A and B are shown apart, each in its own frame.
Chain A
Amino acid sequence: MNDRDRDPSDDLEGTPLLTLERDLQHDLRRRAGALRITVPPVESVVDRPAPRDHRWLVVAAAVVAIVVIATTVLRVVDRPESVHVASPPPHMIQPVTLAPESGWRVAVAHRGSLDLPDPSAKPILPPDVFASGSTGWPQLWISVVSPPPAPGTVAGGPPVEVAQPQQVATGAVMVSAQLDSGYGIVAVGYGLSPDDVLAAVRSAFVNPALGTLDVMIPAGLQRAPVVTMVQVAELTRSGIPGDGPTLVVENATANGISSQQLAAQVAAMQGWSAEHLAIRGVGPRTVAVVQGGDTTIVGVTGIDPGGALAIVSTTPVDDAEIDRIVDGIRPLTPDEWRRLQDRCPPPSVAITTPCS
């Protein structure tokens, strides 16, 4: 059969049919015409229920599948790369330069994996940023440190080495700090504004020349939803109202560290022996101020119910003395608290100015 054999007499759409097409048309008509068709009663159609159309189910399933797949894909695509910040052992010290000219040092170690969107975006801020306010969300704030004190003393020792600042970013809530190479403050803020963190750090700032601060945030500090704020104030004998140096530690935490633990740590890091240390729970939000002789008072409060009072004496304390002290505990009046704060104002840029 020749494809070019057109029959101009037969044309469906203005195009002459090929012989093949013409034969096909002929055969189709002949074959269809040969059928004997009996039209069934119309009831055979109208009495039948219309078939259910389940296409909408297919469409709905397809839409759901597409949404699920798209959501999954978007999650994978949008998920920030999980950044594993170098996790030194809990006790590994990583000195960090904050203010080299000041000669102060800080040593911080943190551990654990931190899912950080951009680990380079939020470095630890140097101290001068403390004064100017935070520009972002560094959750780990480190203040200055001074050489660690020898046991039983409050200061001394050479400065430690200096290294580059740690990189800490938003969400850095898994932090532990080991500050046994120096004094420091660690404030871990989460859910607070940078200004709140800043205020906490400022208020926690102390004069390292006095050698009164050393804080360790245990490795158990994880996902702290609030600021861990440690405030230490050195009170002179002419200050309120104790006769000896008084260490007031406010532990505004909800991070799993009890005030007792913190008090014990602070006292231990101060080099105070257990012989001279007694800790008693005094309830939340209590600042212990006790007057008396040679006794050094360490007041620790917390927003948790386990506020503790640590008592450190220059002489071994006995239970009776402790009970007497505890019985004498009372909250600071606002005026006393204000005077306490005035005694040792939060340092700003003048962080080297002793609080006298």
Chain B
Amino acid sequence: MDDLPASPLLRPRAATTSTYDRPRMVVAAFADFYREAYPPMVRVAYLIVGSQGRAEEIVQDAFVRVHARFDRLDNPAAYLRTAVVNGCRDGMRRERRLSLRLPGVHAEQERTSDDEPTRVDDRLDLAIALAAVPARARAVLVLRYYEGLSEAEIAETLGISTGTVKSLAHRGLARLREEVAR
């Protein structure tokens, strides 16, 4: 642990806050977990929200939540994934509300999307076309086709039934199909 970055978290402190009272092993384990899980979670969030900047914010927020209860989590990875996906959905809901109140702002945010629709091998880039899919269905498709999660795992992550997962996947693919057919 000597190679860990100097952080108030890692320095012995007389303070009695829960953060600083944590065993150093837990702290180190979280640091390892963070470094390992951060990139893939950013990618997942990015595929859902379409913006790397927003994806990183969402993932950082999720890690803050994970950190607050890291030593109590049986499966931090699953918790993190759920926090990230929920963060994506919350973010998209906020944007949607904002767009209803301030259409100009929303349009500006839309333009900040990292990519414009492109074509891959003379076909539509489906990862870009995914933006046309409703948020929940989009999350299902990302978790299924990028993360490779089973329907049960997706259901657990999103807090929905497997039947709903199937339905959302079906509708998401149908929507993609429409985009492709254009």
**Do A and B originate from a single complex?**
yes
> Residues of A with Cβ closer than 8 Å to B?
1, 3, 12-13, 18, 20-21, 23-25, 27-33, 35, 37, 39-51
Q: How far is the CB of B82 from chain A (nearest CB, A)?
A: 14
25 A-B residue pairs with CB within 8 Å: A1-B180, A12-B148, A20-B180, A21-B145, A24-B141, A27-B120, A27-B128, A28-B126, A28-B130, A30-B120, A31-B115, A35-B52, A37-B38, A37-B43, A39-B34, A39-B38, A39-B39, A40-B60, A41-B5, A41-B7, A42-B4, A42-B31, A46-B19, A46-B67, A50-B67
Q: Kindly identify, within residues 32 to 56 of chain B, every residue whose CB is under 8 Å from any CB belonging to chain A.
A: 34-35, 38-39, 42-44, 46-47, 52, 56
B63 touches A21 (CB 8 A): no
B38 touches A25 (CB 8 A): no
Q: How far is the CB of B17 from chain A (nearest CB, A)?
A: 10
A51 touches B61 (CB 8 A): yes
Q: How far is the CB of A346 from chain B (nearest CB, A)?
A: 76
Bound: A35/B40 CA distance, A: 10
Question: Can you list the 5 inter-chain pairs with the closest CB atoms, starting with the nearest?
Answer: A50-B68, A32-B43, A27-B127, A31-B127, A28-B146
Which among A3, A24, A43, A50 has the highest number of chain B CB atoms within 10 Å? A24
Q: Kindly identify, within residues 126 to 164 of chain B, every residue whose CB is under 8 Å from any CB belonging to chain A.
A: 126-128, 130, 141-142, 144-146, 148, 150-151
CB < 8 Å neighbour of B151 from A13, A23, A25, A50? A13
CB < 8 Å neighbour of B65 from A20, A23, A51? A51
Bound: A20/B39 CA distance, A: 26
Q: How far is the CB of B13 from chain A (nearest CB, A)?
A: 13
B43 touches A48 (CB 8 A): no
Bound: A46/B60 CA distance, A: 10
B35 touches A42 (CB 8 A): yes
Given known contacts A25-B145, A42-B34, A51 and B64 CB-to-CB distance under 8 angstroms? yes
